[in-house]
Amino acid sequence: MPPPKKRPRAYDSSKIRTAVLAQFGYVREAVAVLTPEQLALPTALGDWTVRELAAHLATGVESVNRYLEEPEVRGAGGPVLVLSEWPFVTAAFAGDISENVKAIAAAAPPDELFGRTAERIAALLPDASDGRLLATRVGAMSLGDYLVTRTVELIVHTDDLNRAVPGLDIPYDRQALAACTRMLADALAAKAPGASTEVRIPPYAVVQCVEGPRHTRGTPPNVVETDPLTWVRLATGRTTWREAIEGALVSASGERADLGDLLPLMG
C-alpha cells in the first residue's frame, strides 16, 4: 500500500506577512546607502549589476501590489497553482523578467523603487485576504501562498546581494529564512516523492523523499543534513552538490543520499 499523501504545509499568515516586510526593509536600508560604484558591481546573475539585482528585489515585492490591484480570479479561472510547484514553473519567464528589470533599473534609482513599493504595500496588504486569488504570471495563486514565494525571492536575492558587495552583510529575517527553507525542502519532496531519504535542514525543516525502502523507526539509513543558507544555494543553483560536499557544507550518508541529480530545483 502506498504511503498516504502528505498534507500541504501550513504557514502562519501573520508571520509570513511580517517576514516579507521585515526582509524587504532590511534590503531597502542596505540598498539606500550603496555608492554608485557598488551599484555598478557585477553579480552572479548573468550580466545583472547590483543596481539591476536591487531593482529585481523591489519589483518582486511590488508584484504583490500589482496583483492586488487587478481583479480577483473567480469561477472557472483555471487550476490554482500548488505552492510546492512554484519553483518549477518560474524558469520559463526568466528572459522576460530580465528585460523588464533592466528597463526598470534604468528608469529609476533603487531607493525610489523601494520607497514607492513600501508605501503601496503598506496601503494595500493589511486589508487583503490570504484567500484572495491572484492572477500571477505563473497561474492563479492565493495571496497567502504568493507571499510565501516572496520570502524565497527575498532570501535568495539578499544572499546574492551579500555575495556581490563585499562587507554588505544584510541580515536574514528568521521567519523569512524559515519559510524559504521549508518551501524549497517541500519542493524537493514533491520532485522526488518517497521516504527512503531524510533531508534535515536544522532548525527549520525535515522532509523525506526519494523512492526506496520506507524507513519506520530509528536512525534513517539515508540522511542528508545541511544549514539553511547552503540549502537555499543548492536548491537555486548558487552552489553545486559537489561543491557543497567537497566543502563539508553537507553531510550525506547512505546509498540514496546523493541529491546531485535532483538539484537545483530552480535557477
For residues 22 and 217, give the distance between their C-alpha atoms in angstroms, rounded to a whole number.
39
| Nearest Cα residue to 43 out of 131, 138, 156 | 156
This prediction has a pTM of 0.94
Cβ atoms 211, 192 nearer than 8 A? yes
Domains 13-175 and 192-253 share a fold: no
As a whole number, the mean pLDDT across the chain is 93
98-127 residue pLDDT tens: 888 999 999 999 999 999 999 999 999 999
CB atoms inside a 10 Å sphere around CB 222: 22
- Top CATH class, 13-175: mainly alpha
Residue ranges covered by each domain of the chain = 13-175, 192-253
Average pLDDT over residues 239-266: 96
15-72 residue pLDDT tens: 999 999 999 999 999 999 999 999 999 999 999 999 999 999 999 999 999 999 999 8
CB atoms inside a 10 Å sphere around CB 10: 7
Fold annotation for 192-253: Nonspecific Lipid-transfer Protein; Chain A (3.30.1050)
